[in-house]
Amino acid sequence: MSVALEVRGLTRRFGKLVAVDDASFEIRRGEILGFIGPNGAGKTTTMRVCATLDLPDEGDVLIDGVSVVLDPRGVRRRLGFMPDSYGAYVHTTVADYLDFFARTYGLRGKDRARMLAYVKDFTGLTPLEHKLMTSLSKGMKQRLCLAKTLLHDPALLILDEPAAGLDPHARVELRELVKALAGLGKAVMISSHILTELSQICTSVAVIEAGRIRATGTVDDVIRRARTQHQRVFVRSLAPIDALLKLMLETPGVETARPERGGVVLEVAGAEDDLARLVRRLVEAGMDPIEFSPKATDLEDVFLSLTAGTVQ
Amino acid sequence: MTLAAEQQEQVATELAPLAERLSDRLNPILVKEVRQSLRGRYFKVSFWVTLTLATMIGLGVLLVSFSSTREGASAVYGPQFFVAIFACLALATQVLVPFSAFLSMGSEWDENTFDLLVLSNLKPRQIVIGKVQSAAVQALLFYASFGPFLVFAFLLRGLDLLAIFLCLGISFVGSLLLSCLAVALSSFGQGRFARLMLMVLLAIVLVQGTFVTIAWAGQTMMIPSLLRDPDMLQGLAAAASIAAAVAAFFFAAACARLAHPEENRSTGLRVMTLVGIAVGLAWATIIDGWSVDEDVVLGAVMVGHAVLALATLFFITEPERLGRRVAAKLPKSRLVRLLATPLLPGGARGLVFFVCGSLMMSAWALGYSFIAEGRLVFTTGELDALVALPLYGVIFLGIPSALFTKRLDSLAVRGISRIVIVTGFIAAIMLPALIGFLFGLPNWADFEHPLNVFTMIHQMLRKDGHYEEARYFLVAGTLICVALNWPRLVRAAREQLQAPTAASSDA
Ligand SMILES: Nc1ncnc2c1ncn2[C@@H]1O[C@H](COP(=O)(O)OP(=O)(O)OP(=O)(O)O)[C@@H](O)[C@H]1O
Ligand SMILES: [Mg+2]
């Protein structure tokens, strides 16, 4: 699989604020990368640099080997970017809007007609093509923008929070569209706060916080690695909860402990052997444990454990 | 369906793809714009209102003319009728059309819309051309719809055909020029307040420009023989070429504004400024008919310096760095890189630009004198003025801008530095006069002090004042300016020479 997007030591400053700090990651063709991070982490900034709308202070981004610094026009031919918000043209119908952008990409005659029919069909806009853009609902506008993004058949798609403001139906549809696009061999980079959404379609993730990339890799990898650093465990014992709580809070490695459903939920730093030590400690202290269940880690846990939610 | 209708339909379906294919060749912005204006209200309303107005005014003029003509007098109403109709036409094509170009460019500026336009890979040049083209199309629609009125005016007799075509041509060129200006102005103002101010400014310019055209047309219609006067034609040609240079400058300015901040937004404007000044100098040469008139030459040099200084005000406050994209596109040869210094972006290079532009004008003045007269025709006072003018510019632009050099990356600082330069220039004229007034220095109180470029140059030209003080000021000021600017100049040169030569793959 060839690399579609390569971010190399990307740094972008706004005055004193370092919005993106030495970020590096890559996406291969056919891959869907979830780009997650709290508000203000630098997701949009990174994506705008990738899309040539902004320029890095240091580092570079290569799209199919073409640099955003040296050849922005070459990059724009290869990439489709869907910003998190976009304006509408007045007095313009869906069909006219798409036709305009198809022309700007140099599509002519029959090619243009074929491409327009294809994207309208793909995004389900055909029945709406004579509607005015300004009268579309949020979800429909989102589709229109996606359709516009597909017009020049880009190899890489960058979608900035495409699911924001969509109802559950629309989200499912969007998810299917994105999957279908990846199936066509396109690389997709998608940022979102809705992690359950992402975990169902992404093949890999990059976690960013305060401008720094905290983790990258396939979803499984990142979760496994997160698990070696951090676990959540539910413990129930015959001993009184207070005693159990006291013991657990005194145990090294346990970060927090709180009572829940007749037992205690622990946040434990460390890997699985640390859990084994914890069980031994419970038994040795005569706590008579009757349930010890590590919680399955998902993207949400990864997100919460890797990022402190600080806003910069 | 009848056979004829069927045939008609067939022709229509055959024509539609042809129209499609033709429209493929057009600028996408033009296509979009025409569609939008056909759906929108602005164009329709202005179109019908103008036509109605023209009809009413035309009828009014005819009624008044008929009723005031005594029996037996020759009935020639053409000129009055034409001027009345032309006034409506000029208002439409030179006020309404450019104004709609301003609004339409403004609607692109909404940040998110504009991002999509950038991503579409349209070049800034294409965007601006598309906007001006669609203004031209609107203007042409007005001309076409006024056709019947114009024919009627001609039938009323007393009209000179050449004059008609000249008037229409001039108003069309004026419409294009003003549309360029409107698009450029619109791309300068992104804030709400700035937009409002620019709108007011534009409205004033449009109305002024239109009145000049109408007045000119009126005069030409009443006295058509004026057109056979070679001086008049030469003046027209000079005005047209200067207008073309100005329009090209606005065009370049709009393109620069639409380009990415890290793109080279300066070289085009710098070249256009020099070209504009060169056109002005060329006309000064021709109008003189190859005999040197010192007043014309010095006047041209002074106006040239004013234009140059105004443009340099913006260049000298640009961020000093070349930017990675510009640096990557520098030519390989180090010599060429150094020679290109005045045209490359960056504040320090703005100072070099001013000096080079100024040298160009001096070279013209001296060369013209030697070639046309075979000797130096200038008095020593005039030569003093030729030297003093650039030095004043260097001092008033170079010293204040050097103070900001480190922080020009910030848009706000750039704005402030420009204000400081302008106020500094005004203060340098006012403050010594105030000091002279307070401390009883009569010359200074009369604004005859070395910091006042206007009186000093005036005295040099007339060679009657005592401008020795000015010499000391100019020498000291230039030295200070060079000292202050030296570090940024060195940094700029080093950046140019050391930029890596990356093979750009931009097609
Ligand atoms: N043009 C700008 N000028 C100054 N600061 C900026 C600019 N754009 C972004 N920032 C700052 O950079 C940081 C990163 O912003 P960014 O928009 O990339 O975050 P994000 O991860 O997309 O957040 P969100 O989830 O809210 O969309 C923020 O602190 C923001 O204030
Ligand atoms: Mg964002």
- What's A32's domain CATH number? 3.40.50.300
Look up the ipTM and state it.
0.79
Q: Does the distance separating the beta carbons of A77 and B121 come in below 8 Å?
A: yes
Which of B382, B399, B265, B248 lies closest to B319 in space, CA to CA?
A: B265
All residues of chain A having their beta carbon less than 8 Å from the beta carbon of residue B262 are 55
Q: Is B358 among the domain residues?
A: yes
Q: Is B491 among the domain residues?
A: yes
Which of B490, B346, B344, B498 lies closest to B408 in space, CA to CA?
A: B346
Query: Ligand 1 test: best mutation among A12, A45, A198, most atoms within 8 Å of CB?
Result: A45
Q: Residue B316 phi/psi, 5° resolution?
A: -75, -10
Residues A207 and A234 grouped into a single domain: no
| Cβ atoms of residues A103 and B28 within 8 Å | yes
Q: Is B261 among the domain residues?
A: no
Residues A135 and A205 grouped into a single domain: yes
Residues A138 and A99 grouped into a single domain: yes
Measured between alpha carbons, how far is A199 from B308 in angstroms, rounded to an integer?
60
Residues B299 and B433 grouped into a single domain: yes
**Domain extent at residue B344:** 266-501
Measured between alpha carbons, how far is B300 from B195 in angstroms, rounded to an integer?
34
| Cβ atoms of residues A270 and A219 within 8 Å | no
| Nearest-by-CA chain B residue for A146 | B116
Domains of chain A: total: 2
Residues A53 and A115 grouped into a single domain: yes
Distance, CA B109 to ligand 1 centroid (Å)? 20
pTM of this prediction?
0.81
Compare CB distances from B113 to A51, A86, A99 and report the shortest one's residue. Answer: A86
**Domain extent at residue A250:** 228-306
Residues A151 and A43 grouped into a single domain: yes
Distance, CA A84 to ligand 2 centroid (Å)? 7
Residues A245 and A182 grouped into a single domain: no
Decide which of B203, B228, B253 is a domain's last residue.
B228
Residues A150 and A97 grouped into a single domain: yes
A14 lines ligand 1 (CB under 6 A): yes
CATH number at residue A267: 3.30.70.980
Residues B142 and B291 grouped into a single domain: no
Residues B176 and B65 grouped into a single domain: yes
Give the residue ranges of DSSP H helices in B288-346: 294-315, 324-328, 334-339
Compare CB distances from A86 to B37, B116, B122 and report the shortest one's residue. Answer: B116
Residue B152: which residues within 8 A CB-CB, separation 6 or more?
Answer: B58, B81
Q: Is B14 among the domain residues?
A: no
Q: Is A221 among the domain residues?
A: no
pLDDT in tens, chain B (507 residues): 455 656 666 666 666 677 777 888 899 999 999 998 888 888 889 899 999 998 898 888 888 877 776 554 555 677 888 888 899 999 999 999 999 999 888 888 765 788 888 888 899 999 999 999 999 999 999 999 998 888 888 887 777 788 888 889 999 999 999 999 999 998 887 778 888 899 999 999 999 999 999 998 888 888 877 777 888 888 888 888 888 888 888 899 889 888 877 788 899 999 999 999 999 899 888 876 767 788 889 999 999 999 999 999 999 999 998 888 888 888 888 899 999 999 999 999 999 999 999 999 999 999 998 888 888 888 888 999 999 999 999 999 999 999 999 988 888 899 899 999 999 999 999 999 999 999 988 888 888 899 999 999 998 888 766 778 888 999 999 999 999 999 999 999 999 998 876 544 343
Q: Is B507 among the domain residues?
A: no
Distance, CA A312 to ligand 1 centroid (Å)? 9
| Nearest-by-CA chain A residue for B324 | A69
The residue of A69, A150, A153 whose CB has the most chain B CBs within 10 angstroms, and thus the best one to mutate to test that interface, is A69
All residues of chain A having their beta carbon less than 8 Å from the beta carbon of residue B505 are 66, 70-71, 74
Residues B199 and B292 grouped into a single domain: no
Residue B275 is which amino acid? Answer: V
Atom index in ligand 1 nearest the CA of residue A84 equals 27
Which sign does the torsion angle of CA B286, B287, B288, B294 carry? negative
Ion ligand 2 residues within 5 Å by Cβ? A 43-44
Domains of chain B: total: 2
Q: Whose CA is nearest to atom 7 of ligand 1?
A: A14
Reduce the secondary structure of B199-259 to three states and give it as a string: HHHHHHHHHHHHHHHHHHHHHHHHCHHHHHCHHHHHHHHHHHHHHHHHHHHHHHHHHHHHC
A43 lines ligand 1 (CB under 6 A): yes
Measured between alpha carbons, how far is A63 from A66 in angstroms, rounded to an integer?
5
| Nearest-by-CA chain B residue for A87 | B113
Q: Are strands A58-63 and A3-14 parallel, antiparallel or unpaired?
A: antiparallel
Measured between alpha carbons, how far is A171 from B366 in angstroms, rounded to an integer?
75
- Establish how many alpha carbons lie within 13 A of residue B476's alpha carbon, considering only the half-sphere containing its beta carbon: 8
Residues B41 and B97 grouped into a single domain: yes
| Cβ atoms of residues B400 and B421 within 8 Å | yes
Residues A183 and A265 grouped into a single domain: no
Measured between alpha carbons, how far is A267 from A229 in angstroms, rounded to an integer?
11
User: How far is C-alpha A37 from the geometric centre of its chain's CA atoms?
Assistant: 8
The minimum CA-CA distance between A270 and chain B, rounded to whole Å, is 44
Residues B428 and B378 grouped into a single domain: yes
Which one-letter DSSP state was computed for residue B93?
Answer: I
Distances (CA, A) of B322 to A68, B343, B400, B491: 17, 11, 21, 11
Distance, CA A1 to ligand 2 centroid (Å)? 29
Q: Token pair for residue A81?
A: 């970017």
Compare CB distances from A104 to B39, B122, B507 and report the shortest one's residue. Answer: B122
The residue of A100, A108, A152, A158 whose CB has the most chain B CBs within 10 angstroms, and thus the best one to mutate to test that interface, is A100
Q: Is A270 among the domain residues?
A: yes
Q: Is A222 among the domain residues?
A: no
Helix (H) or strand (E) holding B134: helix B124-155
A42 lines ligand 1 (CB under 6 A): yes
Residue A107 is which amino acid? Answer: L
Residue B380 is which amino acid? Answer: T
Residues A187 and A246 grouped into a single domain: no
Residues A82 and A145 grouped into a single domain: yes
Measured between alpha carbons, how far is A28 from A33 in angstroms, rounded to an integer?
9
Residue B79 is which amino acid? Answer: P
Q: Is A223 among the domain residues?
A: no
Count of all residues that appear for chain B in the document: 507
Q: Are strands A3-14 and A17-28 parallel, antiparallel or unpaired?
A: antiparallel
Residues A118 and A176 grouped into a single domain: yes
Residue B236: how many other CB atoms lie within 10 Å: 14
Which sign does the torsion angle of CA B13, B15, B20, B21 carry? positive
Q: Is B456 among the domain residues?
A: yes
Residues B223 and B356 grouped into a single domain: no
Residues B214 and B350 grouped into a single domain: no
Helix (H) or strand (E) holding A111: helix A109-122
Residue A199: which residues within 8 A CB-CB, separation 6 or more?
Answer: A34, A219, A298, A299
